[in-house]
Chains A and B, each alone.
Chain A
């Protein structure tokens, strides 16, 4: 064709199609999908979170187990809890020496005037640890080693003992017997009013 000849009017060129959008990335597709499903994380993110979460749960659990490992469920300590008969076995106003040799305790039952409580005194002198004796005639506990004297109930009043005799924890067992724990003792007379320091009979 010569440049001079006017080109016959052609059909107007077909409208160019709009430029194609670049293809969507995987991530963008995922994001769109989550928007569609109204979720706030992707599946990948969820699985990643779940996996790490599971790992840390396991790790935390293992650490917890390791700590619990150091608390044995039993110990081989010598026993300190003993059953010592029924409250009826003990007369009112009496210091009973039945278990003095076996468990190193006296079982004392106050008269109603004194309050009527039943409690257990640990037979260890608070001076240097000897075993005192109950002298019913003189109404006192007397230590043969250096002469410490303790009144009814265990309050020290003579000799070198610095503190009253200690009392042991008492409770009623299911079979009606008194159960006492010589390893759990109350040193301070103020603690003697606690409900586990004496039994109301």
Chain B
């Protein structure tokens, strides 16, 4: 019967294929990706040290941290991180940098805190790609090695004095120099012109617009490219009524971009992630900064200028040059270098206390994105006075007095 032979054939094929699938599946279980790495590691150890490894079993190794809600299996492949003799071995077998008892790892026992709290990635995974977090729908890919420093802020309240956190310090310097707080808010402090920075890096990747991002579609990449060219990454979208980003293009060097990116990431690390908490006992609170001593009121005023981010609109040392689209009088936020000529001290105080809205250059274009906020609630009287001194001091000494030009 023709039918019967078809059935027989189907049975034969499917039984055979099923058996084949079982073998494939069984092989995947017997010989997973990580097994090869472990076998290689033990071989390397014997080669380098001449002796077998102390704990030679082939098995998944994990650090289970219920308080952190993490289970890190990185050590399944990265078996040599605490073996000082593997310093010359290649990845993934190499020793973790700064292993010594008085070095980094001495103070950060990874059996107590795991790996992903600093490096991110997907601790529960057991394959290279997934473990490094490059899996679709995993929101926390491993940080590039240069940016791992950002996660110091998960535990350390004060990164300024941490050895190894120099990049964050540099980032902080740039942050104050450029006056980012003049437009952005940080934990509520700052201005409402641009988004809050403490939760930027913690947002879901779907909340970012990657249409103009060339690199990988990750949050880190977006931030890096946004620093390099804000207008490119967040351009105007007339169809939706979204204006172009009014963030100035600071023409940062790559090193500066990395430092600032690390800083922004550290803000989110500091704010914490409710899914992956850091237990309280691991937190190292920052010490309050000592009261600064200023040589003069002008120096104090300069510190006030930086503290409140005035440079965001008025430029470094009041130089100006920050675009303010559709603002009358030049389309830029005004410079402050000659402000003492146009205003008396009292007038200046009034403008600062109560703020001002620039007029539009073209009535049918959107209003300028930047405006002078009211600082009445934020500046103390002393700060206001020293700020006056500073602003008045901005006028260059060799400038011709008003009205005396030819």
Contact = CB atoms under 8 A, between A and B. Distances in A.
Interface of A: 101, 128, 130-131, 133, 135-138, 142, 144-147, 158-160
Given A144-B196, A147-B369, 19 more contacts: A128-B207, A130-B195, A133-B192, A135-B192, A137-B357, A137-B371, A138-B371, A142-B192, A144-B193, A144-B194, A144-B195, A146-B240, A146-B242, A147-B242, A158-B366, A159-B241, A159-B242, A160-B240, A160-B241
B355 interface: yes
B108 to A, nearest CB: 33
B16 interface: no
B194 A160 contact: no
20 contacts: A128-B207, A130-B195, A137-B355, A137-B357, A137-B371, A137-B373, A137-B374, A138-B357, A144-B185, A144-B194, A144-B195, A144-B196, A145-B195, A146-B240, A147-B242, A147-B369, A158-B241, A158-B366, A159-B243, A160-B241
A189 to B, nearest CB: 20
Contacts of A142: 192
Interface string B369-386: 101011000000000000
Interface in B231-246: 237, 240-243
Given A137-B373, A158-B366, A131 B240 contact: no
A130 B291 CA distance: 36
A159 B242 CA distance: 6
Interface residues of B, number: 20
B396 interface: no
A163 B251 CA distance: 38
Interface of B: 185, 188, 192-196, 207, 237, 240-243, 355, 357, 366, 369, 371, 373-374
A84 B243 CA distance: 36
B242 A160 contact: yes
Contacts of A159: 241-243
A163 to B, nearest CB: 14
Contacts of A145: 195
A135 B367 CA distance: 14
The 10 A-B residue pairs with the shortest CB-CB distance, nearest first, are A133-B192, A160-B240, A146-B242, A144-B195, A159-B241, A147-B243, A160-B241, A137-B355, A144-B194, A145-B195
Nearest to A144: B195
B357 to A, nearest CB: 6
Given A137-B373, A160-B240, A160-B242, A101 B195 contact: no
Contacts of B371: 137-138
Contacts of B374: 136-137
A138 B356 CA distance: 9
Contacts of B369: 147
B181 to A, nearest CB: 13
Contacts of B207: 128
A135 B373 CA distance: 9
A111 B355 CA distance: 23
